[in-house]
Every structure is written in structure tokens, then in C-alpha cells.
A and B are shown apart, each in its own frame.
Chain A
């Protein structure tokens, strides 16, 4: 890219700037000198000088300008600004309403959320209570079943014991009878009536 004097070093830029200022000052001086030297000296310097033609011209130009701009520029601009303000007020009111609606909705959602949380807490508490009750019930049932089982076992044992005892008694009795029979056989052979009495007495004792 081609480099200009303004892209070069700051020192060069300063020199260029100083040169430009010097040239500008010289031009101003030259113009002022030439202008002052070339003009005639018939002008007056009276700021309060009344110029009727300029006054009428100014009045005409200014009043026409007021009328034209009021009709085609500033009048429509004032109406456009009023319309814009009206639209902005409406937008602001709509935004406020939307904001209020959103806040109300948010409040509703918060209430529903709170209610839901409360419901969840209640459900969890109920579930815990139900689970605890069920667990207790299961334990109770198990205990009851175990007790029943034990009672049944005890009963079975008792029954078995009784049966066993009876069998033992029967066997014992039979053995005793056999033994006694053998003994008594020898005695019966001596007294047969005594034999029957002895057997009955022995059986009664065994069965009690």
C-alpha cells in the first residue's frame, strides 16, 4: 500500500502540520492585506443603522418561512412526535400490564409449586407411615406364624410323645407282661386266677 506523509513517523507529521499552519496563516495574511488594500473606504460602521429594505425583506422571508415550515415540516413533525409519544405511552402501558400479568402468573405458579411440594411431602409421609405399618404387620404376622408353628410343633411333639409313651407303655407293658407272664406263668401254673388280676392291675397302671 502506498504510504502518505500522514502514515509516516510522528516527527514528520508534526513538520507537515507546522508547514500547513504556516501556509494557512500566510494565506490569511495575504488575503487580508489584498482585500483591505483593494476596497474603497466608503462603508459606514453603524450597528444601529435602520435599513427599511432589509427589514421588509426579513419580514417577508421569515414569515413565509414560518408558514411554509409550519405547513410542510414543523407541523407534521409536531404531529409525528405526538403520535410517537402516544404510541410509546401505549407500549409502556401494555408492557406494565404484561409485567403485572406475568407477576400474577408467577405468583400463581409459586402457590401451585408450594401446594405440590406440600402434597409431595404429605404423600411421602403417608408412604413412610404405610410402609412402617406394613413392616410392623409383616413382623407381627411372622411372629404370629412362628408362634403358631411352634405351638403346632409343641402339639406335634406332645402328640408324638404321647404316642411314643403309649407305644413305650404298650411295649413296656408287653415286655413286662411277657416277663411277668413268664414269671407268672410259672406261678399261674400254681394259681390261674391270680394271673388275670395281675394283668389288669398292670395295664391300668400303665395307661394312667
Chain B
């Protein structure tokens, strides 16, 4: 095996973040990203910014079109509306309830499309890997959801009411309640935090693993480059398996965005309707 040509560290450059942008060979191999106000821009930052701009460019005109009250024209706008309506009617309203759903719908829509577009960006050649393959991104998304949950819960039930409501109501003798309820409170709060940590780790693991497998499969081609017959067979196999995995990755991109949004909606719904 030609270890000088490929190793895991090199492969990781295509999966993890970096301060340079990979370009097609005819445009030069790399584009170094600038430092702004002492902050080094990275590929993930650029992708996140691009995703944010893309979402603004998509959904602000959609809002203008929908404000007129007339049915949307065009497959693309109808497709976007189908996504929005499905999330609202099948995910957000059943999880949070009709009364409170509209307050959280913009946040959950933003969450879904931000994750989805970040996931899909990892599948576009030369665009950079998915930012959702980095713990910092998924953790911030989970933390934001946790903040929305706690903030909306405390707004509805009051600070004390919200935290008190974390303990299930039980008819316990006073002596037992004094002993048990603090323990239950700690367990419930830790459980709440763990749920959000799992939310972040699930998305991270799915996206990172998918891209890593793709990179490794393509790395096999370079690894067998010095053995012509083996290289041909491995190349065909790698490319076709990578193609199939890319299709799977596309599905996973949608699925993980859906799962993250769905669980976030359920958690927010649980905070709005306590025990």
C-alpha cells in the first residue's frame, strides 16, 4: 500500500474543518480563507454563512408570495411550502399543541432547514464538508433548543414553576417527599440536559460517519494507485459504492434534520405541558 500517498490524517482534511478551501485542480489546489478581526475564517463558517444567505434568499421571497393570499405558482415554491406545511402540521402542532405551536414554528423551521442545508452542503463537491459534522455546530444548535425550551417554559410557568414542574407530581408522605423529590429533581434536570447532549451527538455522529466512510472509500483508490490491476478494480468498486452511499447520505441528511427538529419540538412541547 502506498502509505506516502494517503493516510487517515489526509482524508480527514476532506471531512473536518480547515482554513483553506479546496478547489478544482485547474483553479489551483487551495484557497486560503482570510482572517477577519483576528478570527480565522474556516470552511464550516463559510458554509454556515452561505446556508444562512441561501435561506434568506429562499424564504423571504416565499413569504412575499404567500402574503398575497393567492396559491403559489411553480414547482419549486410549492415544494418549499410542502416542507413547511408538513413540518407545521405533522411535527410541530402534534408535538407542541395547536395553541402554542405558532410561537415556536419559525424557530423550528429555521432549525430544520439550517441543519438540512448544512448536511446537504457536505455532499456538494468542493463546497466543503458539513458543518453539522462538527461538535461545535451541533452543540450550539442543541444548546439553542435547550435555551428556547427553558426560556419558554419559565415564561409560561414562572422560574420557580418551571423548575418545580420538572418533578412529577406524586402523593408522597412529607418525610418521604423531602427525601425523594430533590433526588427526582436532580435526575429530571440531568435527564433534560442529557437529552440535548444526545441530540447534538446523534447529528454529529451521523454526519461525520457518513462523510468519513465516503472519504475512506475514495481513499482506497489512492491507496492502490501503484498496483494497476488492483487499482482498476478498487476504483470501479469504490466509485460505485460511494455513489450508492451518497444517495444514502442524501437520505440521512433529510432524516437527521427531521429527527433533530422532531425531537426539539417534542422537548419544547414537554416543557409547555408539564407533568
Residues of A with Cβ closer than 8 Å to B? 24-26, 28-29, 31-39, 41-55, 57-59, 61-66, 68-70, 72-84, 87
Q: Tell which of B8, B105, B114, B205 touches A45, judged by Cβ atoms closer than 8 Å.
A: B8
Interface of B is mostly: helix
Q: List 17 A-B contacts (CB under 8 A).
A: A28-B242, A29-B239, A39-B10, A43-B10, A54-B42, A54-B137, A61-B48, A63-B144, A66-B110, A68-B56, A69-B55, A74-B59, A80-B63, A82-B102, A84-B66, A84-B69, A87-B69
Pick out which of these stretches binds chain A: B152-160, B218-226, B247-255: B218-226
Contact B5 A37 (CB under 8 A): yes
**Of B8, B143, B222, most A-chain CB atoms within 10 Å:** B222
Contact across chains for A25 and B10 when beta carbons are under 8 A apart: no
Contact A59–B12 (Cβ < 8 Å): no
The prevalent SS among residues of A at the interface is helix
| Interface size band for B | 35 or more
Given contacts A43-B12, A69-B56, A80-B63, contact A28 B239 (CB under 8 A): yes
Point out residues on B near A: beta carbons under 8 Å: 5-18, 22, 25, 29, 39-40, 42, 44-45, 48-49, 52, 55-56, 59-60, 62-63, 66-67, 69, 84-85, 88, 102, 105-107, 109-110, 114, 131, 133-137, 139-141, 143-144, 204-205, 208, 212, 218-219, 221-222, 225, 231, 235-236, 239, 242
8 extra interface residue pairs, beta carbon distance < 8 Å, beyond A36-B6, A62-B110, A66-B107: A25-B236, A29-B235, A32-B221, A45-B15, A51-B17, A70-B106, A78-B102, A84-B69
- Check A74 against B221 for contact (C-beta < 8 Å): no
CB distance from B127 to the nearest CB of A (A): 15
Choice from B12, B66, B137, B222 contacting A77 with Cβ under 8 Å: B66
Kindly report which residue of chain B lies nearest to residue A54, judged by CB atoms: B136
- For the complex, what is the distance from the CA of A80 to the CA of B106, rounded to whole Å? 13
Number of A-B contacts (CB under 8 A): 183
* Nearest-Cβ distance from residue B44 to partner chain A, whole angstroms: 6
| A132 to B: closest C-beta gap in Å | 69
The 9 A-B residue pairs whose C-beta atoms are closest, nearest first, are A45-B12, A74-B106, A73-B59, A55-B136, A54-B136, A70-B106, A80-B66, A76-B63, A36-B222
B137 touching A48 by the CB < 8 A rule?
A: no
B106 touches A41 (CB 8 A): no
With a cutoff of 8 Å between Cβ atoms, the chain B residues found around residue A63 in the complex are 144
Cα distance A36–B15 when bound, in Å?
13
- Chain A residues whose CB sits within 8 angstroms of the CB of B15 once the complex forms: 45
Task: Flag if A47 contacts B208 (CB, 8 Å).
Answer: yes
Residue with the highest number of chain B CB atoms closer than 10 Å, among A32, A37, A39: A32
Which chain B positions have C-beta within 8 A of A80? 63, 66-67, 69
